[in-house]
Chains A and B, each alone.
Chain A
Amino acid sequence: MSMPKLITYCSDSVQIQTAIQAGVSELILEHSYLSIRSLDLVDKAGVLDPRIKSEDDICYKKKIDLAPLIELAIYARSLKPDIQLSVCWDWMAYGFHFKFVDSILEDLSAAGLIRIRLCDIGLMFYIRKKMPSAHLILMHDTFHVNRESIQQFAKYAQGQVLSHLLCLDEIRDIVQAVQTDFEVLIHGNLFLHHSPTRYLSLAHEAGFVDEWPLNRIQLQDQDHPTRLLTAFENKHGFFILNDFQRCLWSYQKELLDLNLSGWIIDVRGYSLDYFKTVLEAYSRFSISQPKFEYGDYSLKPGFFKAARFDLRKKRVYQDYLSDHKIMGMVVESSPKKWMIVELEQPLHQSDVVQIVTPEDVVFSYQIPDVLAVSDREVASDHQLVKIFISKTVPPRSILALA
């Protein structure tokens, strides 16, 4: 059981210096054209989103200038020559993006930056073929949340950041089942929503937002007023983050037992002091120190402790619909007299069925007789039948095979 490497995002030289001094092993370098969650404000000259048809759009230009990114790499190596560097390239790529990809790969390769973090399957597929030497790491939002998909993706990428939606038990199963490098977000915001539609600027243009441009804002859902989500917009679209920091500090032992290759700290958008405090704390990670705190920040394990979704009350009626052979459904009834049933399966006199009402009442019933609804001659072969019954059976009740 060894301590995994600490990994964090850096977009300027101060962050790089802080991270290296704190003992971080891998820096994920950001360039605002490649890293979609970089915190640039929207500037219409230089948008990368093809959904906005601007003549100034970078997509009409020939090459993306990676010099700022390469300067960050040079600076990091000057401070610590053996520091591991990777590049965040988490586009949701469109066809037009690919005219930039070859030149980006050339520039990255020339700068020795071949460790690439991405989430677009097409980009992964293309780089895998174009630059076999690239070390690809799939990010947390690549739709890989089970061992089968992770196994398949491992054929294309050397590493995977596990989804924020996975809980400890699921991660344990996956790590045991698949041989590849795994990383987990141990500290930072959860990424909830990404859209190419820039809702904030559109709302401003439509008169629903008073100011523009806006930095990160807080978003209050009328239906969940106590949760203030963080939202922002940049050249790649619109993003929503959760209202607390995932913090797995109290799961040190469990995390170490997982034998992951990397722990990710992602506090982009927060103060340098917070960045430094978090990194220093985790680099001196100690089981004897039970708690991590920072001001009044809300720190929770996110979905790591238990990702228990869809635990609504079990409905007998729904279970019958799902799991039982349905003979028919009641379309009309007269209380304590009769019911008219739309049949899905043949029903005969003396058959025993389970009748299940929408209110989850269940009882057995032996069919006394199966009668026509009307004396008229039926022209259609779809079967409606009338059955006498002395109980009240509301419409939408089902007759299931006993």
Chain B
Amino acid sequence: MSIFKPELVAPAGNLEKLQIAYLYGADAVYLGTPVFGLRKYADNLNIDQLKIACSVATSYQKKLYLVLNGFAHNEDLDSVCKFLSQIQSFAIHGLVISDLGIFHLAKQLTSFPIHISTQANITNPQSGLFWKEQGAKRLILARELSLEECVDIKTQTGLEVEVFIHGARCAGYSGNCILSNYSSARDANRGGCVQNCRHFFTFFHESDGQKVGSGYVMNSKDLMSIDLLPKLISARIDALKIEGRMKSALYLANTVRIYRQILDNTTLSSEALKSELEKIFNRSFCAGYLGGGDPASFVLFHESFQSKTIQFIGVIKQVFSDGACLVEVRNPFCVGDCLEYLHPNGTLHAVHVQKIWSSQGEILSSARINQLVLLDSIPEPVLFGVIRK
């Protein structure tokens, strides 16, 4: 009997990140377009790029989910209908939707399976049954649920369930917060959230205006679920989702490869892998309500984020037959530096930089941002491989 493995679902803000997500082990990728995805300011894909993304997914034999999870206003409906008609023949494996009206338009205009977004706040089995009656295939559950509650919803509805396992958490119920609309005229439920919850707040008595406290009181720590993976697997949770369509390619490669390694080998030391995740920008980690811990441990009261300990150096953009490769540089480095290459097989290789050439063959002492440089010291370089320092 084969061992059950949940689907690992990763974010992709653009075509490069799509390639990286698949390369480092995602089973499926979710991405948005300028039409009504919740990450309005992310590098969304336009319709031609979406077509390319579908062919990339097909070449990897992996899945691609298209996110349409904002709450539409009347003014959005025509463009959503036009868009759905345009993509109906695309090789998309599912639409991620939260708006009941958009759900029914998608049912009328396409035959894609529909996953209900976490924005729809499915916190109980009856909500799941409501969406089942509409025709949903998968429920992406609210981040406020415990694992036991997720299992209960799966059992009672008979639908696939997906849970968030890593990344930023909303301070409030997703979809039920309009702080951003109010403070900055940016619609949190149509991709414009400015994350007021991360700000520093001061409290005053309403009666006399006396100060009673201050801090980053709603600054939710990031979710990390490495310790929960064995339980998630034994509970047969269908899909595990990584947050972060707007985060860097380094975050994506690093996070996907870590979870891929554990899913493939649950006996690996989780402490070593956790420390790998901590090296990238984060707001400190917690297991959230999924892990059933004390909510006091979910908030980073005293600061807005924790600093990262490693830097994103670049992405391999061309590989030559002699083993050299061209790297698109995202942060400067120089001869003598020791870099690390995240091999897509999950291993980490030290790279001692002894020589750098420009793309035109000139010898350089350092590499700067927005430069293509040739390196001959990357072991087994792979296209879209990620390098860090």
Chain A residues with a Cβ under 8 A of chain B: 51-53, 92-95, 97-98, 120-126, 141, 143-153, 164-166, 170, 173-174, 190, 192-200, 202-206, 208-211, 214-224, 227-228, 230-231, 238, 240, 242, 303, 307-311, 321-326, 331-332, 334, 340, 342, 344-345, 373-374, 376-380, 382, 384, 386, 394-396
Contact with A along B189-209 (1 / 0, CB 8 A): 111100011011111111101
**Do A322 and B172 touch (CB < 8 A)?**
no
Interface string of B112-136 (1 = CB under 8 A from A): 0000000111111111111001000
* Chain B CB within 10 A, most for which of A95, A120, A215, A379: A95
Q: Contacts of A238 on B, CB cut-off 8 Å? A: 172
Do B73 and A145 have beta carbons less than 8 Å apart? Answer: yes
| New A-B contacts (11) at CB < 8 Å, excluding given A92-B173, A94-B145 | A92-B176, A146-B77, A194-B173, A208-B213, A214-B203, A219-B201, A309-B181, A321-B34, A326-B49, A334-B360, A342-B328
Residues of A within 8 A of B302 (CB): 208
Closest CB of chain B to A215's CB: distance in Å? Answer: 7
Closest chain-B Cβ to A301's Cβ sits at a distance in Å of 13
Determine how close the nearest CB of chain A comes to the CB of B60; give it in whole angstroms.
14
Q: Is the CB of A144 within 8 A of B100?
A: yes
Q: For A123, list chain B residues within 8 Å (CB).
A: 124, 126
Q: Which residues of B contact A219 (CB under 8 A)?
A: 201-203
> Is B76 interfacial (CB 8 A cutoff)?
yes
Collect the chain B residues with CB atoms within 8 Å of residue A150's CB.
101
Q: Are B105 and A148 in contact (CB under 8 A)?
A: yes
B202-A220 in contact (CB<8A): yes
Q: Which 9 A-B pairs have the closest CB atoms?
A: A148-B101, A122-B126, A149-B101, A209-B213, A122-B127, A208-B215, A195-B172, A322-B34, A395-B370
- CB nearest to A306 among chain B residues: B185
Task: List B residues at the A interface (Cβ < 8 Å).
Answer: 15, 34, 40, 43-44, 46, 48-49, 52, 71-77, 98-105, 119-130, 133, 144-145, 149, 152-153, 171-173, 175-179, 181-183, 185-187, 189-192, 196-197, 199-207, 209, 212-215, 217-218, 220, 289, 292, 295-296, 298-299, 301-302, 317-322, 324, 326, 328, 359-361, 370-372, 374, 383-384
In the complex the two chains form, is A309's CB within 8 Å of B187's CB? yes
8 A-B pairs with C-beta separation under 8 A = A95-B125, A120-B123, A146-B99, A308-B185, A326-B48, A334-B360, A378-B318, A384-B326
Partner of B73, one of A146, A206, A331: A146
Instruction: Output the least CB separation between A361 and chain B (Å).
Output: 17
Most buried by A among B126, B171, B372: B126
Using Cβ atoms and an 8 Å threshold, which residues of chain A touch B370?
331-332, 394-396
Interchain CB contact under 8 A, A382 and B317: yes
Given A51-B289, A326-B48, A378-B318, CB of A344 within 8 Å of CB of B15: yes
A-side contacts of B102, CB under 8 Å: 148-149
Cβ–Cβ < 8 Å partners of B374 in chain A: 374
Check A326/B183 contact, CB under 8 A, given A192-B178, A202-B296: no
Residues of chain B with a CB closer than 8 A to A205's CB: 296
A148 partner residues in chain B, CB cutoff 8 A = 72, 77, 99-102, 104-105
Q: Is the interface of B mostly helix, strand, loop or mixed?
A: mixed
Chain B residue numbers with a CB within 8 Å of A165 are: 73, 178, 181, 187
In the complex with contacts A146-B101, A206-B296, A380-B319 CB distance below 8 A: yes
Taking a contact as CB atoms under 8 Å apart, the answer to whether A309 and B186 are in contact is: yes
Interchain nearest-CB distance for B8 vs A (Å)? 24
| Contact indicator B172/A193 (Cβ below 8 Å) | yes
Q: How far is the CA of A56 from the CA of B203 in the complex (A)?
A: 29
Chain B neighbourhood of A210, CB < 8 A? 212-213
Residues of B within 8 A of A395 (CB): 370
Q: With the chains together, A17 CA to B298 CA distance in Å? A: 44
Are B179 and A192 interface neighbours, CB within 8 A? Answer: yes
Taking the nearest CB of chain B, how far is it from the CB of A245, in angstroms? 14
Give the residue of A92, A143, A196 whose beta carbon is less than 8 angstroms from that of B71: A143
Given known pairs A310-B40, A322-B44, the reply for A149 and B178 (CB within 8 Å) is no
The complex places the Cα of A55 from the Cα of B49 at a distance, in Å, of 54
In the complex, the answer to whether B203 meets A217 with C-beta atoms within 8 Å is: yes
User: Do residues A221 and B199 form an inter-chain contact, with CB atoms below 8 A?
Assistant: yes
Contacts of A203 in B (CB 8 A): 213, 215, 217, 299, 301
Tell me whether B127 and A52 are in contact (CB under 8 A): no
Give the distance to chain B from A160, nearest Cβ to Cβ, in Å: 12
Among B152, B175, B179, B383, the most chain A Cβ lie within 10 Å of the Cβ of: B179
A147 touching B178 in the complex, CB below 8 Å, given contacts A51-B289, A95-B152, A309-B187: no
